[in-house]
Amino acid sequence: MPCLHLDAAEVSFPGLPAPVLRIPRLEIAAGSQVAVIGPSGSGKSTLVNVITGLARPTQGRVFWDERDIARLSEGARDRWRGANIGLVMQDFHLFPGLSALENVLLPARLARVADGAIRARAGALLSRVGLSRPDQPVETLSRGEMQRVAAARALLRDPGVIVADEPTASLDAENGAVIAGLLLELAAQTGATLIVVTHDQRLISRLPRRIAMADGTVRSDSMAEVRP
Amino acid sequence: MIRFALADLKRLWAGSVVIVLLVALAVALGVGVTLQERALRLGSARAAEKFDVIVGAPGSETQLVLSAVFLQPAALPLMPGEVLAELNDDPRVEWAAPVGFGDFHAGYPIVGTTTTLIEGTAGGFSRGGMFRTEGEAVVGSAVPLQPGETIVPTHGQVEQGGHEHEGVRYRVSGRLNPTGTPWDRAILVPIQAVWHVHGMGLAPGHDEHGQGQGHGHEDEHAGHDHAGHDAAHENDEAHGHRGLDADAPLDEDWHRGALPGLPAVLVKPRTIADAYRLRQDYRADGRTLAVFPGEVLTSLYATLGDARQVLAVIASGTQLLVAAALLMVTVIHVGQRRRQIGALRAFGAPRSAVFGIVWLELSMLVGLGILLGYGGGYLAASLLSRAFAMQRGFSLPVGFTPEDGATLAILVAAAALLAALPAWLAYRQPPAAALRG
């Protein structure tokens, strides 16, 4: 499992006086479970973009183990992300017209890595997250079920890192709790590093480490408090 | 990828249908113009194919062909009748047959001619046989009459103020096989009947009408304008249609006395060289004009070609506009799908797959539109040709040629290229757009 090491990472946009993200140093150990918290506009999403390779920092380095993904080309970052990061987002991003199973398999198919083993794993993951009908069209699923499908999709390629961006924000309390539990269990089971951006206090309370963001930088880090 | 593209198009079905229809209409317009123009060219060439040389009085070559080949009613000047006898005696001529126009039955032109012409140009009889007496008629395949039925000729067309020839009746003796030419709409009667109905010609007791009067009359009866009709009417009354003797035997010997003036003689030369020499001789001669219908049609096409060019430019302009509109719509559409496209990338789909999906979706829509357009253009041209055939009697054969395949290939290639632009925009879109904000 890879560990994250940010080194003087900065994201700034022309016309803005201050960088939207400035993290001199941040480490997340392999297999740890981390909550990223903070008000909106504090740079949480930018942080997620940078550590998943969705965006390149303006400056600095983003190491996952020994690899600096900030130096990878766009295509290489896509490939790296596909193989190493499982993403779960607030808006599920499922594609209507396809079944639950097809949605789970879609990114792998588009990346041409969907072999028999992957297909078998997709079915197993769907039943693991509690979806009984893998052939059901996604548009007929409830919101809770949609997020379960999204979770299964994130885990399909057995990523070393699961990044969830407000995974419970568009769910009711009950479904939110189920999804939170599912993510924690799955991460623990596979040993994947779990990074969750969230406002959900109940979810935050279940994560051992909390990184609080404000104004684009890390305001406090529970790990740092423990280990000054 | 195809499955995803199809699911995506299904989701956006309304927009997809509009795009397909738009493309189909633009393509159908272009294809229709091409096919129809080709059909007109082939159809009229086929109509003229049996008529090697046409000899008429000096005047408009085009009008001579339009009247003799396409049976278009018009006032043709007359040439002296003895030209027919001369042509028949010419060793270079296989046969020469006069045609006389002016009368109609229920909108179908009645053409006075000879058995030789019918034998030489038509493809045999489907029912009945050749006329044997002055009062018999042979009908083309598009004339809704059967052997035994009666024809009442009107002088000129009724809707243009024509009137019935009192007491004149033809009996249908036979019906010809279809030839696909305007002559399918013709009612063919012995030329002597036309002369006699109009008080001209060689019948005993009619010689005193003489050439001069015959000429004048023929002139007027060929023109169906109102003034001409009044004059003709008076003339007809004066003659009282005494001429038609329904039971009189056919007389196709052109040497017994002076023939009335003739609007046109169709000539079948023995050889191609003869055809050229005949045209030369009868063109130089001040009394007559000789034309190759094919040649006249070619120069007519040259004129039509300009019109076709205009239509083709309009059609291409339409296609260009549709292409531009399509490009705009898809570029906007790709912009609106930033999040979806970003999400695909975020979950690990390679950029090439994103490019492929957008390209495939657009190409499928445009490709389908092009195919439908070809089908639609063909259908439209066929329907137009059918309507034309019903009205004019001659068929316009609608068909694709290899060059249409080339056009199709160019269109498809252009569509593929066009689809690449929004696909490229999608390719360039940053995946971070998938996240909120």
Least CB-CB distance to A90: which of B3, B347, B436? B436
Chain B environment of A199 (Cβ under 8 Å): none
Secondary element (H or E) of residue B265: strand B264-269
Q: Mind listing the pLDDT tens digit for each residue in B109-131?
A: 999 998 888 888 888 888 888 88
Any domain includes A190: yes
In this prediction, residues B385-413 reach a mean pLDDT of 84
Contact at CB, A109 and B1, closer than 8 angstroms: yes
Q: Rounded to two decimals, what is the model's pTM?
A: 0.73
Any domain includes A61: no
Least CB-CB distance to A97: which of B10, B343, B435? B10
Specify the DSSP class assigned to residue B242.
T
Tell which wins on pLDDT, B211 or B268.
Answer: B268
Residues A92 and B199: their CA atoms lie apart, in Å, by 95
Are β-strands B125-128 and B170-176 bridged in parallel, bridged antiparallel, or unpaired?
A: antiparallel
For residues B126 and B215, membership in a common domain is answered with yes
The whole-angstrom distance between A225's CA and the closest CA on chain B is: 30
Any domain includes B297: no
Q: Among A186, A9, A136, A48, which residue's Cα sits nearest to residue B435?
A: A48
In this prediction, residues B421-429 reach a mean pLDDT of 89
The whole-angstrom distance between B365's CA and the closest CA on chain A is: 18
Residues A149 and A154: their CA atoms lie apart, in Å, by 9
Identify the weakest region by mean pLDDT among B46-60, B110-124, B192-206: B192-206
Q: Which of B252, B268, B291 is the last residue of a domain?
A: B291
Any domain includes A157: yes
Contact residues, B window 319-358, toward A, CB-based 8 Å cutoff: 339-340, 342-351, 353, 357
Residues B154 and B167: their CA atoms lie apart, in Å, by 11
Domain count of the fold of chain A:
1
* CATH for A88: 3.40.50.300
For residues B31 and B79, membership in a common domain is answered with no
Any domain includes B95: yes
Any domain includes B389: yes
Q: Which residues fall within 8 angstroms of residue A126, CB to CB, at 6 or more apart?
A: A100, A101, A104, A134, A149, A152
Q: Which residues fall within 8 angstroms of residue A40, CB to CB, at 6 or more apart?
A: none
Residues B98 and B54: their CA atoms lie apart, in Å, by 10
Any domain includes B246: yes
Q: Mind listing the pLDDT tens digit for each residue in B29-39?
A: 989 888 888 88
Least CB-CB distance to B11: which of A85, A96, A109? A96
For residues B58 and B125, membership in a common domain is answered with yes
CB-neighbour burial class of residue B276 (10 A; exposed 0-12, middle 13-18, buried 19+): middle
What range does the domain containing B204 cover?
Answer: 53-291
The whole-angstrom distance between A75's CA and the closest CA on chain B is: 7
Instruction: Give the CA-trace dihedral at B369, B370, B373, B374, to 10 degrees.
Output: -150
Distance (Å) of CA B69 to CA A13, A182, B179, B411, B417: 79, 87, 13, 38, 48
What's the complex ipTM?
A: 0.89
Distance of CA A7 to the CA centre of its chain: 20
Q: Mind listing the pLDDT tens digit for each residue in A163-188?
A: 999 999 999 999 999 999 999 999 99
CB-neighbour burial class of residue A74 (10 A; exposed 0-12, middle 13-18, buried 19+): middle
Which DSSP string corresponds to B121-172?
HS--EEEE----BTTEEEE-TTS---TT-EE--EES-GGGT-EE-TT--EEE
Task: Provide the pLDDT for residue A178.
Answer: 92
For residues B197 and B342, membership in a common domain is answered with no
Residues B2 and B47: their CA atoms lie apart, in Å, by 51
Q: Among A147, A53, A57, A149, which residue's Cα sits nearest to residue A107?
A: A149
∠ CA B76-B79-B84, rounded to 5°: 120
Q: Which of B260, B291, B322 is the last residue of a domain?
A: B291
Tokens at residue B182, please? 């305007």
Domain count of the fold of chain B:
2
Q: Torsions phi, psi of B59, nearest 5?
A: 165, -145
CB-neighbour burial class of residue A17 (10 A; exposed 0-12, middle 13-18, buried 19+): exposed
Contact at CB, B11 and A166, closer than 8 angstroms: no
Specify the DSSP class assigned to residue B177.
P
Any domain includes A182: yes
Residue A125 has pLDDT above 90, yes or no: yes
Residue B353 has pLDDT above 60, yes or no: yes
For residues B102 and B17, membership in a common domain is answered with no
Task: Provide the pLDDT for residue B220.
Answer: 40
Any domain includes B415: yes
Any domain includes B90: yes
pLDDT band at B311 (very low <50, low <70, confident <90, very high): confident
In this prediction, residues A217-225 reach a mean pLDDT of 81
3-class secondary-structure state, position B398: coil
Task: Provide the pLDDT for residue B209.
Answer: 37
For residues B268 and B374, membership in a common domain is answered with no
What range does the domain containing A212 cover?
Answer: 31-53+77-226
Any domain includes B245: yes
The whole-angstrom distance between A49's CA and the closest CA on chain B is: 6
For residues B218 and B322, membership in a common domain is answered with no
pLDDT band at B257 (very low <50, low <70, confident <90, very high): low
Task: Provide the pLDDT for residue A26.
Answer: 93
For residues B192 and B71, membership in a common domain is answered with yes
For residues B29 and B162, membership in a common domain is answered with no
Residue B221 has pLDDT above 80, yes or no: no
Identify the weakest region by mean pLDDT among A97-111, B34-48, B189-203, B316-330: B189-203
∠ CA B402-B325-B413, rounded to 5°: 30
Q: Among B197, B226, B191, which residue's Cα sits nearest to residue B209?
A: B197
For residues B284 and B309, membership in a common domain is answered with no
Q: Write down the residue that tokens 């297909």 correspond to.
A: A119
Any domain includes B91: yes
Residue among B347, B361, B428, B436 with most chain A CBs within 10 A, to mutate? B347
Q: Among B37, B31, B33, B47, which residue's Cα sits nearest to residue B395?
A: B47
Residue among B341, B344, B345, B435 with most chain A CBs within 10 A, to mutate? B435
Any domain includes A156: yes
Chain B environment of A98 (Cβ under 8 Å): 3-4, 7
Contact at CB, B7 and A98, closer than 8 angstroms: yes
The whole-angstrom distance between A108's CA and the closest CA on chain B is: 7
If you average pLDDT over every residue of chain B, what do you get? 81
For residues B39 and B125, membership in a common domain is answered with no
∠ CA B67-B221-B293, rounded to 5°: 15
For residues B123 and B172, membership in a common domain is answered with yes
